[in-house]
Amino acid sequence: MTIESAEVVVTSPGRNFVTLRLTTSEGVVGLGDATLNGRELAAASYLRDHVAPLLVGRDPHAIEDTWQYLYRGAYWRRGPVTMAAIAAVDMALWDIKGKVAGLPVYQLLGGRSRRGALAYGHASGTTVEALVTSIHNHLDEGFRAIRVQSGVPGLGKVYGVGHDQARGQKYDYEPAGRTAAPVEETWDTAAYLRHVPGVFEAVRSEFGPELPLLHDAHHRLTPNQAAQLGRSLEPYDLFWLEDCTPGENQEALRRVRSQTTTPLAIGEVFNSVHDYQTLITEQLIDFVRSSVTHAGGITAVRKLMDFAAIYQVRSGFHGPTDVSPVGMAAALHLDVAIHNFGIQEYMPHSAQTLDVFRCGYSFVDGLLDPGEAPGLGVELDLEAAAAFEYTPAYLPVNRLRDGTIHDW
């Protein structure tokens, strides 16, 4: 059996997705996700123009060799575009291998280590009252862990806060705006640091001490500000504080870690184990945030998590709607198989998206499960996909009140 065709499908059912579709000489189809929010066409071109021609004729079972061939053979290593493209190939090959074996991918990764993957949902509100309603909505939907994001008095739109929902309304927040250029938002760290502890005080008094609560600072703080926030949130016993400070400077986390016991999660913008090396070996973080889509695929993320296990660092894979259902499925197969699982982010995709990507995974009683279909368990409806043309969409840009560009 060989790879007979490699097709890149860019579709946009409500938001843009990049999917690699491999077909073997025996007609087995494998899918992989290469969606890079705001830079989708770069990943699509890397795959279509530079990788797809090299795949035709290769043995689809040679997953490790293909990964090394694409990583070392590119010469220019790492980076979000390269690693999303390699991830898509890797996922598609695992999908094929599972389908040929007649087994769900998690069985090829060592079988189940747990009944299902604990998921967390995204609650938000422009006010504390709206946030409380959103948390109730997520509990009603079956979530047993909740990410809490709030508006900040005096600021307009801020990261992670969708439109306020009434009781029973579903959360919907796609940050990438379909505009010719990124929307600009205003940020004020001091106002945010003053406001957040009170938000968690209100949430804890409404929902009690046991509900696992998470918060995403989205790369916006200096190490010292991150330490200040981590310490101010200790009374509220967070499951994790995410992206408290830009993690590229891994040593910066030494300062944060020395000042607070609030658990730390970092890495959704990382794409290689090298981005984590100091963070993991010095135990500066508690959770690895990469998605399978952005960090080189199942092969690479499994190795990353085996490395993290030595230092008792657990998984918390990135799972927003800009990871496609194929990327989410790939994460779920790892989630149920690896020993050092932590939690799985889960922003349910829209009905429009699920008309294009037919998924075999499920969310029941707070747990996600990849299902028992052979391979990854997701099918791509090409006809439905063709109905949704790519539309440029950009993530917002943040500026401080004086106009200085800041991390969004």
Instruction: Phi first, then psi: give them for residue 357, nearest 5 degrees.
Output: -110, 110
In the complex with Mg ion, which residue's Cβ is closer, 33 or 216? 216
15's torsion region: left (phi>0), alpha (psi -120 to 50) or beta? beta
Return the residue of 15, 21, 99, 218 that touches ligand CS2, per CB under 6 A: 218
For ligand CS2, the closer of residues 22 and 226 by Cβ is: 226
Which position has the token pair 């993530």? Answer: 395
Contact pick of 320, 327, 348, 374 for ligand CS2 (by CB under 6 A): 320
Q: What one-character DSSP code corresponds to residue 242?
A: E
Site string for Mg ion, 185-224 (x = CB under 5 A): -------------------------------x--------
Q: Select the residue interacting with ligand CS2 from 116, 175, 230, 366 (CB under 6 A).
A: 175
Smallest separation, CB 320 to ligand CS2 (Å): 4
Instruction: Count Cα atoms within 13 angstroms, Cβ side, for 271.
Output: 17
Task: Provide DSSP, 98-158.
Answer: HHHHTSBHHHHTT--SSSSEEEEEEEEESSHHHHHHHHHHHHHTT-SSEEEEE--TT-SS-
User: Which amino acid, residue 366?
Assistant: G
Closest distance to ligand CS2 from the beta carbon of 218 (Å): 6
Select the binding partner of residue 322 from Mg ion, ligand CS2, none (C-beta < 5 to 8 A, by kind). Answer: ligand CS2
Query: What's the min distance (Å) between Cβ of 195 and ligand CS2?
Result: 19
Identify which of residues 191 and 395 has a Cβ nearer to ligand CS2 in the complex.
Answer: 395
Q: What is the token pair recorded at 163?
A: 């439109």
Contact status: 395 vs ligand CS2 (CB under 6 A): yes
Site for ligand CS2 in 337-356 (CB under 6 A): 345
First to last CA, the chain: 46
Q: Could you tell me which residues come within 8 angstroms of residue 109 by beta carbon, excluding any fewer than 6 positions away?
A: 298, 302, 333, 334, 337, 338
The H or E element containing residue 259 is helix 252-259
Evaluate whether 95 touches 122 at the Cβ level (below 8 Å).
no
Report the catalytic residues. 159, 218
Q: How far is the CB of 122 from ligand CS2 (least distance, A)?
A: 7
Closest CB to ligand CS2 among residues 268, 275: 268
Q: Name residues whose C-beta falls within 8 Å of residue 117's C-beta, 6 or more positions apart in sequence.
A: 332, 335, 336, 341, 343, 344, 367, 368, 369
Applying CB under 6 A, which part among 186-194, 315-323, 330-338, 377-385 lies near ligand CS2?
315-323
Stretch in the footprint of ligand CS2 (CB under 6 A) among 20-28, 61-69, 278-286, 317-325 = 317-325
| Residues engaged in binding ligand CS2 (CB under 6 A) | 37, 175, 216, 218, 268, 318, 320, 322, 345, 395
Binding residues for Mg ion, rule: CB under 5 A, are 216, 268
